[in-house]
Amino acid sequence: MSNFLRLENVSKRFGEHTVLASISLEVERGEFLTLLGESGSGKTTLLRILAGFEEATGGRIFLEDEQLDALPPHRRPIHTVFQSYALFPHMSVFDNVAYGLRVRGCARDEMTARVEEALKKVHMEGFSKHFPRQISGGQKQRVALARALVNRPRLLLLDEPLSALDANLRFEMQRELKVLQREVGITFIFVTHDQSEALAISDRVVLLRHGKVEQCGTPRSIYSTPRTAYSASFLGKSNLVQGTVLDGVADCADFSVPVNVADGAVTFSLRPECIAPVTETAQAGEQLVPFVAEVVAEQFHGADSLLTLRCASGTELSARVAGPRGNGGWFAFRAQDLVPLEQE
Amino acid sequence: MARSRLSAWLVTLPPFAWIALFLFTPYCLLFCYSFWSLDAGQQVVHHLTLANYLHLLQTPLYLTVILRSMRIAFSVVLLSLLIGYPLACFLVFQAGKYRRILYQAVIIPLWISYLVRAYAWKVIFGNEGVMNTLLLWCHATRHPLGFLLYSPFAVIVTLTHIYVPFVVLPVVAALEKIPPELLESSSDLGATAWQTFTRVILPLSLPGVLSGATFAFLLSFGDFLAPLLLGGPSSVMIANIVANLFGADYNWPLGAAVAVLILVMVLVILTITQRLERRWRVA
């Protein structure tokens, strides 16, 4: 069984400090994979090891069964888009994009054609004579993308490429990146600390924490079934509910829920949008868990509001509902939305 | 408002006064002198004349010496770059933990008197100096090499030694300004270390090279002590001529004319290099 990219027990230590602890990961061809994590989670180090800028302390990396570890960066069929864009300031946009082809001795006609095609792909065809200082951040980002893609790498690494852009532009670039990735069919590994960006853009998310893989899966699966309390709260907002399970029923002070977990104390994750006023969630065949709560705060967000509910026992829960909700009353959630978390 | 304006004046006045008194006034005097002349009794005649400049143009000696000064200065620049550029590269990219100490090693000679450093070369190059003793001892030569001292060679070596830091420092500054991601990005895109050097590092360091080269050139061009102490008659430079005209010959008007000529040449060179530097400086 050969995967496109395979990491086997890759680790990195700086002296006593472990940055990456035995990461094993398999990536499919054409996948858009995101390495998500806080600063210090090791996501950038992992990317730099893939690019060849850092050497792993242990483990092996294979790209289509070819071992990468020993290759210097300039011999790897992998390109990087840097957070700072890293465009060459003394070269025009054209020369920047042509750089990789030039150093490999590409013929002039082919080079011109490929550079123009790459610039077209990122909607920068009119800018080939401009210099980096003459174009905006978003445009630099596009040029950096074209500069990497023009060489047709087998793997493209993107190190927080959108973090320097303002919110609207970032949103637009996320969409374009995703479309572009489909179009060129190149495997992307994208690094970000922004969970909403990770969810919006990726086929698969790898959540890193302290140099270990905390959870890995599609954005939907990782969001709806977080494995740990850290996953649950890092990816969006979540209520962490404490409960005691006895004979398949979780007793959580304000409500009892049938669950499929072994007996003992368990922490559950309950997403705010899974809680709704009772009348709205009543649907045939679904097992609802009702409870009474008063609304202690309401934060209006336009499309919906975030309510802070206080249950009878004093537990506070966040609920995301559309429209104003008065002072309180009956609320409910579906039993399957209460996700048991692993103990840490 | 008025008060802050007053304090701004008070802050800028001393440097202005300093420049006006000690820089601008002497230059004006020099300029005036260059159009005056001497009478038979060596007294300055305050009549405007172009005689000094005509004399300069008609006497081949001055042109010869100016060209020689330029040749020596140019050699100093070349040698300083050959030594200074690799040193600067090593300092910035390779030195690691020794970087600070090496940097100090480049700067410390600047604290030592020029005279001491020039005399040191006299000791090294003299007929019974370190160099000749060594060559004789290992039978590389039978007689002490005479061309070592009192020659343009000695002047060039001494000036190079003195002005290398002036080349290293701006080049180091230029190299330090290159973001490390640019070098990573270059190798990421498939460039070998040499390609990264020729296509990214070298072009981005050119402004530093230019300002270092300008320093070394202008300082060497106008140097007076090295040719006096280590150069023989074959390496008299233009500043020595000026010193002689003002001193031994007591011909201030002619000396002033030579000085003005040097000044104009220096200004022309500075203007050209500044233009170039502005064009090369990017981002």
Q: Secondary structure of A9-64 in the HEC alphabet? A: EEEEEECCEEEEEEEEEEECCCCEEEEECCCCCCHHHHHHHHHCCCCCCEEEEEEC
Axis-axis angle for helices B152-176, B99-107 (nearest 10): 140
| Percentage of chain B exceeding pLDDT 70 | 99
The answer to whether the Cβ–Cβ distance between A79 and B188 falls below 8 Å is yes
Q: Are A39 and A193 in contact (CB under 8 A)?
A: yes
B192 or A288, greater pLDDT: B192
Q: Print burial letters for A58-84: b (CB count within 10 Å at least 16), e (below 16).
A: ebebbbeeeebeeeebbebebbbbbbb
Q: Are A252 and A243 in contact (CB under 8 A)?
A: yes
Distance CA A113, CA A150 (A): 10
| Percentage of chain B exceeding pLDDT 90 | 54
Nearest by CB: B184 against A53, A88, A133: A53
From B199, B206, B182, B173, select the one nearest B280 (Cα to Cα): B206
Count of CB atoms within 10 A of residue B15's CB? Answer: 9
The answer to whether the Cβ–Cβ distance between B190 and A74 falls below 8 Å is yes
- Paired with A246 in beta bridges are A249
In the chain, the amino acid numbered B211 is: S
Tallying the residues shown for chain B, one arrives at 283
Q: Measured between beta carbons, which residues in chain B are less than 8 angstroms from residue A89?
A: 204, 282-283
From B98, B229, B237, B110, select the one nearest B161 (Cα to Cα): B110
Selected for mutation to probe chain A from B189, B198, B199, B206 (highest A CB count within 10 Å) is B189
pLDDT number for residue A2: 60
Distance CA A291, CA A299 (A): 21
User: How far away is chain A from the Cα of B264, in angstroms, using its nearest Cα?
Assistant: 32
Nearest by CB: B191 against A89, A103, A132: A103
Please give the average per-residue pLDDT across A237-242, as a whole number: 90
B22 or A278, greater pLDDT: B22
Nearest by CB: A100 against B179, B190, B280: B190
From A271, A267, A270, select the one nearest A343 (Cα to Cα): A267
SS3 of A315, please?
coil
- The two tokens of residue B75 are 């050699």
Contacting residues for B201 by C-beta, under 8 A, at least 6 apart: B89, B175, B178, B183
User: How far away is chain B from the Cα of A38, in angstroms, using its nearest Cα?
Assistant: 22
**pLDDT at residue B277 greater than cutoff 90:** no
Q: Print burial letters for A309-332: b (CB count within 10 Å at least 16), e (below 16).
A: bbbeeebebbbbbeeebeebeebb
Selected for mutation to probe chain B from A48, A49, A53 (highest B CB count within 10 Å) is A53
Alpha helices by DSSP H, chain A: 43-51, 93-103, 108-121, 137-149, 167-184, 195-201, 219-224, 229-234, 278-281
pLDDT number for residue A280: 54
What is the number of CB-based contacts under 8 A between chain A and chain B? Answer: 69
Integer CA distances (angstroms), A123 to A127, A222, A238, in order: 9, 34, 39
pLDDT number for residue A1: 45
- The two tokens of residue B24 are 């601008």
pLDDT number for residue B283: 44
Q: For A90-141, what is each residue's pLDDT tens digit?
A: 999 999 999 999 999 999 999 999 999 999 999 998 999 999 999 998 899 9
Q: For B95-115, what is each residue's pLDDT tens digit?
A: 888 999 999 999 998 888 888
Lowest mean pLDDT among A235-244, A245-254, A320-329, B128-137: A320-329
In the 8-state DSSP scheme, what is residue A198? H
Nearest by CB: A82 against B181, B195, B203: B181
Q: What is the mean pLDDT of chain A?
A: 89
Nearest by CB: B189 against A52, A103, A131: A103
The answer to whether the Cβ–Cβ distance between A100 and B189 falls below 8 Å is yes
Distance CA A172, CA A161 (A): 13
**Alpha-carbon Rg of chain B, whole angstroms?**
24
**pLDDT at residue A163 greater than cutoff 60:** yes
Tallying the residues shown for chain A, one arrives at 344
Selected for mutation to probe chain A from B181, B188, B194 (highest A CB count within 10 Å) is B188
The answer to whether the Cβ–Cβ distance between A90 and B190 falls below 8 Å is no
B199 shares contact with chain A (CB less than 8 Å): yes
Integer CA distances (angstroms), B171 to A76, B50, B85, B197, B269, in order: 32, 43, 7, 14, 19
Which pairing describes strands A212-217 and A58-63: parallel, antiparallel, or unpaired? unpaired
Query: Which residue reads 């840490």 in tokens?
Result: A344
Angle at B14 (CA atoms; ends B13, B15), nearest 5 degrees: 95
B194 shares contact with chain A (CB less than 8 Å): no
Q: For B49-99, what is each residue's pLDDT tens digit?
A: 888 899 998 999 999 999 999 999 999 999 999 999 999 999 999 888 899
Q: What is the pTM of this model?
A: 0.82
Q: Measured between beta carbons, which residues in chain B are less than 8 angstroms from residue A73?
A: 184, 187-188
**Alpha-carbon Rg of chain A, whole angstroms?**
24
Residue of B nearest to A84 (CA): B181
Q: For A63-86, what is each residue's pLDDT tens digit?
A: 988 888 888 999 999 999 999 999
Strand ranges, E, within chain B: 37-38, 44-45
- The two tokens of residue A173 are 């670039």
